[in-house]
Structure 1
Amino acid sequence: MNPANNINYFFLNQLCIYAQLGREQELMNLGLPPEQIQPLMNMTITQLEAFSRELGQGFIAINSSDFLQRLAQINIPSVCVEFIAHGASKEVMREILKISYKESTSWRRFVDTQPDYKQRSIPTDCYRAMWNDIELLPSPLKPTAEELLTLSKKYGVGIGAIWSDIKNGEVNGK
């Protein structure tokens, strides 16, 4: 087998293993419903090898954008992935995590941020409660990365919005 066929065979074999183990979620994440894998599971090893050769020289690409995105995330520190996923602005990344604007910007294309965390202001329905929690921090105007992440998760508000509000409070003498 040539390298492309080896990769295809490995991939097909892995799909069969997922299906045999009942790992439907992994198959769904790849874009395949488990029932589409059933014909592969009924093939012998020889048939599976032959099928992988029929696929040609190219690498099987099922949801490859997700694969490439996750592959790129390997080189991004996990705290940075969490921060970006929870709506941290470049300013927060620079001040709290000491990450340059350039690096922060380049990482953003590899990390998804949910819409709730993209908001740049704190919603009025949780504003007072959040500020009560901020004021209870050991250093309210200089929260740690963990404290910002905890607040973000608790209130479903972007770290960038929290940071911006804290900085405005600092400037206005709150």
Structure 2
Amino acid sequence: MMVSVTEAATHGTGLDSAPPGDLGWNLGMVLRGYQSLFEDVVEGMPSGIRGFQIVSAVIHRDPPSQQALGAHLAIDRTVLTYLIDDLVKADVVERIPAPSDRRARKIVATDKGRELLEKYEERVAHMESDLLAGLGEADRKTLTSLIGRLAMDIHRAQPGSIPCEAMDHLP
């Protein structure tokens, strides 16, 4: 029997009766499951998950500079340089002078990079759909909306936090 998020909260089947600390365990389990599946579906993408995230941010967010890209993804600039070097070598992205500051570099996707992202986005979308298959459509939308809002609240409160480190500290 599928129980909606709203039903669970109002009927005491989990959300309102969970002891303190269960949220962390639940989030950790979801993150582990997601990470494992994500790694599998982006296998073959230059620089793996981080390569996917970089190309996705470059195409969908269009950051004005490499520095802005690093800040958005919370990737250390030294690490970001190596990741971008690998993506440039694979002809997925290129560095061009930033229009706002000729000393800075803007990262743009190549045609190959756009094609590659489209291919991997299809895989990721299918994986995410499979991961959430146990939830009804309304609950999927509610869950993703709430997690997105919570993530942005945390990001605003802790702008220097690095999401990738979360996996390193799971029990």
> TM (normalized to structure 1)?
0.22
- TM-score, with structure 2 as normaliser: 0.22
Larger radius of gyration: 1
Tell me which protein shows more strand as a share of its residues: 2
- Which one has a larger percent helix, Structure 1 or Structure 2? 1
